Structure 1
Amino acid sequence: MLKTITSSIAALLFCLTTSVSADILAIKPDAPKSYTVKQGDTLWDISGLYLQQPWLWPQLWKLNPQVENPHLIYPGDVLSLSYDQDGRPILSVNGNAIKVSPAAADGTATQGIRKLSPQARKSLKNTKAITTIPLMMIRPFLTYEQSLSAEQIDGLPYVLGADDHVKNASQGHILYVRGQLQQDAAYGIYRKGKAYIDPQTEEILGYETILVGTARAFRAGGAEVDQPASVAVLDVKQEIRQGDRLIPAADGQSLPAFFMMRKPEQPLSGTIIDTTSDLREFSSWDIVVLNRGQQDGLKAGYMFSISRQSPTVVDSSRGPVYMSDASKYQKLMGGLDGDRIEMPKEQIGELMVFKVAERTSFAIVTGTKKPIRVGDIIGDL
């Protein structure tokens, strides 16, 4: 039985022109004529085989905004690329073809486009459908990792002590918690980490919260001080200490396997302020923290370019000199003599936002031309 052709795959070849966006979905010269979807593939991988700019593949969804999730493709599906007599690309899945051509400026379908109809939302439950990006890379951040304000952290239930006289509890211990919990619910146990600081304003935007363990509540506790809640420690990543905070775990929540990759509705810029790795430089599929969040209008799925400021040059009487090469005395006296020339920023990669907090967000690097660093700038693609 033929599988339903998916809007996500048709979008690999779709060229959409509107008054707001001049983005063109350009087919790669070496795009394969035929490709068999493999276990472990993602829509991002497949898009990269066909498109110069893989992040543009979801634009076909604009033809039918009622469809919240596209249909799915599966390992074993065969994609075939061909062109019609007018040079328009045709993509077929398991022999069932769909012709892809531009839409009118008002977003209505034009001749040659198969307009989608609203259908029941599909999920990944009991399927092996491929996802947008590698979920294994972001699963811990979707389910546990947080960026919280000091006020949010201070308002959380916290560990008073254990059933043994230990300062560092581990698996098998019972913990007593000040605050009311939900009986039988699972909780992540967190420790307040470093501050996320805005490099421009030097404001604290939030705090890293480090997952140190998980637990399940078997006494809910009460509002009175002498009625602590009780939890059994299920797993530990680090030893649990008095004062560590509890947040309801995300057990049982479905992962957003399909992200609507798109440009922000309004121009946005910001800075990479941290990374989850301890490396000075990082690359594709590494996780970074941005100094922009919900209050700035950020949403999961937003795509940004990553740029780096080229070094400033002073055109001095002795010839061009990098500003950073000035001596301490020259910097104290105002720098080098000559014309100070600010060089342009150059794009070195792209990223996708996948989790948004109030003033910060987590993003995954989807492509690089050079290694990425903390301090690099995000902006429009």
Structure 2
Amino acid sequence: AAIVALTMAFPTLADVLQIRKDAPKEYVVEKGDTLWDISAIYLDQPWLWPELWRLNPQIDNPHLIYPGDKLSLVYDSQGRPMLVINQKFKKLSPGVRKTMKKGDAIPTLPLEVIRPFLTYEQALSEEDIDTRPVVLGANKGFKTIDTDQIVYVKGDLERSQYYGIYRQGDPYIDPETEEELGHEAILVGTGRAFRSGDETNAAPSSVRVKNVKREIRQGDFLMPALEGQTLPAFFMMKRPETAISGTIIDTTSKLREFSTMDVVVLNRGERDALKAGHVLDIRRASPTVVLTSDGPKYKDAASRYERTMSYFGDGEDSREWKMPKEKVGELMVFKVYEKVSYAIVTKTLEPVRVGDTIHVDN
């Protein structure tokens, strides 16, 4: 694999780099490691990896680390941690590096590391979906369509072009404003057009189905296979330059709780200056407490009367105390639309849920 260089904004020197308590003093690089993997061994915030390597006088290019290299954790005169290649170990193992080809240098966080966990779902406006070619039916007249069948499509498709076949899903609704942010477009299959159509004369295009993720139905729509699916070979992982807050509004797994490498949907997008590679905190509000005649109670456990009375009073006389939001994980944005984004959960302190908030201070 080609060497992949990840350009990342360095944190300021004012940022304190905290080394994990269980971090080893030395580590031997293994085949399949990435700089992200190694940084996660030493840092609770792996996207700060340049801070761990950039102070290193022995490594002009930290991307050129090879399997078999032994790394040592040391501290400079100002007490700042850094990783260096253990030269003594290299002298004892002169053949290790010679056996490695240039292409064997370990990468940072290439797409291949997370691709198995990504989703092909997209977020499209209803107006956009309405303009797309539509599946009319199949050559065998079945209500559900399988691999190697031919589907007929209302729309002029390009011959030999591969297409994704999608189904319109539920709308994404902003829980704060109730604005419709778009519709989930669910990939159900792929196919290759072999006959162009002519809508003017009601002649359909013809597509041979190549792959089926779930049953294809009449009324599903088509998009060029790569449209909306082109992702960078690597991600420039960094914090947003401006403060941002929002909400996790859905997950592609549709589970109640989810964890590392699950994909979530955010109610923030291009219009909020969100970009692929942005790393955000996931936070959750602690349970609200109401003050009753019997003392503090969680709001959910209070009676209807006690909850009603909690609305009276403010400031130090308030009977309802809303607790702070605490961090429960981190995520990285990988696909951005105008009003929504898809992100992959990179770290969890406890299971993440729909309704948890995203947050970054500027």
TM above 0.5: yes
Distance 1:201 1:254 in 2: 30
Aligned pair in 2 of structure 1 residues 340, 185: CA closer, same or farther (>3 Å)?
same
Which of 321, 344, 348 does residue 324 from structure 2 map onto?
Answer: 344
Q: Which residue of structure 2 aligns with residue 26 of structure 1?
A: 18
Once the two structures are TM-superposed, the CA of residue 329 in structure 1 deviates from its matched residue by 5.3
Distance 1:174 1:140 in 2: 30
Q: Which residue of structure 1 aligns with residue 158 of structure 2?
A: 182
- Aligned residues, how many? 336
Which of 1, 16, 37 does residue 12 from structure 2 map onto?
Answer: 16
Show CA shifts across 1:95-131 (max 9, x none). 49xxxxxxxxxxxxxxxxxxxxxxxxxxxxx767434
Which of 10, 23, 45 does residue 53 from structure 1 map onto?
Answer: 45
Establish whether residue 285 from structure 1 lines up as the match of residue 261 from structure 2. Answer: yes
Establish whether residue 318 from structure 1 lines up as the match of residue 270 from structure 2. Answer: no
Aligned pair in 2 of structure 1 residues 133, 342: CA closer, same or farther (>3 Å)?
farther
Aligned pair in 2 of structure 1 residues 258, 315: CA closer, same or farther (>3 Å)?
same
Show CA shifts across 1:147-205 (max 9, x none). 11111111111111111221111111111111122211111111011211111111221
Establish whether residue 353 from structure 1 lines up as the match of residue 333 from structure 2. Answer: yes
Aligned pair in 2 of structure 1 residues 190, 313: CA closer, same or farther (>3 Å)?
same
Amino acid at match of 2:292: S
Is 2:133–2:154's contact at 8 Å kept on the other side of the alignment? yes
Amino acid at match of 1:130: P
Amino acid at match of 2:302: A
Aligned pair in 2 of structure 1 residues 60, 300: CA closer, same or farther (>3 Å)?
farther
Once the two structures are TM-superposed, the CA of residue 303 in structure 1 deviates from its matched residue by 0.9
Q: Which residue of structure 1 aligns with residue 28 of structure 2?
A: 36
Aligned pair in 2 of structure 1 residues 272, 132: CA closer, same or farther (>3 Å)?
same
Which of 93, 97, 107 does residue 130 from structure 1 map onto?
Answer: 107
Distance 1:62 1:300 in 2: 23
Q: State the percentage of identical aligned residues.
A: 56
Is 1:196–1:208's contact at 8 Å kept on the other side of the alignment? yes
Distance 2:111 2:259 in 1: 15
Aligned pair in 2 of structure 1 residues 70, 87: CA closer, same or farther (>3 Å)?
closer
Distance 2:151 2:282 in 1: 44
Show CA shifts across 1:58-107 (max 9, x none). 469999xxxxx9845454444333345565545334749xxxxxxxxxxx
Is 2:118–2:263's contact at 8 Å kept on the other side of the alignment? no
> Aligned-pair RMSD on alpha carbons?
3.5
5+ residue gaps in structure 2?
56-60, 89-102
Distance 2:133 2:86 in 1: 54
Aligned pair in 2 of structure 1 residues 254, 272: CA closer, same or farther (>3 Å)?
closer
Once the two structures are TM-superposed, the CA of residue 134 in structure 1 deviates from its matched residue by 7.2
Amino acid at match of 1:152: D
Establish whether residue 191 from structure 1 lines up as the match of residue 167 from structure 2. Answer: yes
Distance 2:136 2:348 in 1: 46
Q: Which residue of structure 1 aligns with residue 276 of structure 2?
A: 300
Q: Which residue of structure 2 aligns with residue 101 of structure 1?
A: none
SS of the equivalent of 1:41 reads coil
TM-score after normalising by structure 1: 0.77
Instruction: Within 5 Å, give how 1:192-341 maps onto structure 2.
Output: 192-250=168-226, 255-328=231-304, 331=307, 339-341=319-321
Q: Which residue of structure 1 aligns with residue 141 of structure 2?
A: 165
Show CA shifts across 1:3-61 (max 9, x none). 99x9769x99x8732xxxx4222333543333233344333221112224222224699
SS of the equivalent of 1:279 reads coil
Instruction: Within 5 Å, give how 1:59-138 maps onto structure 2.
Output: 71=63, 73-84=65-76, 87=79, 89-93=81-85, 95=87, 129-132=106-109, 135=112, 137-138=114-115
Show CA shifts across 1:200-255 (max 9, x none). 1112211111111110111232352423211100011122111111111129x875
Distance 1:308 1:353 in 2: 19
Is 1:330–1:336's contact at 8 Å kept on the other side of the alignment? no
Q: Which residue of structure 1 aligns with residue 125 of structure 2?
A: 149
Distance 1:227 1:70 in 2: 58
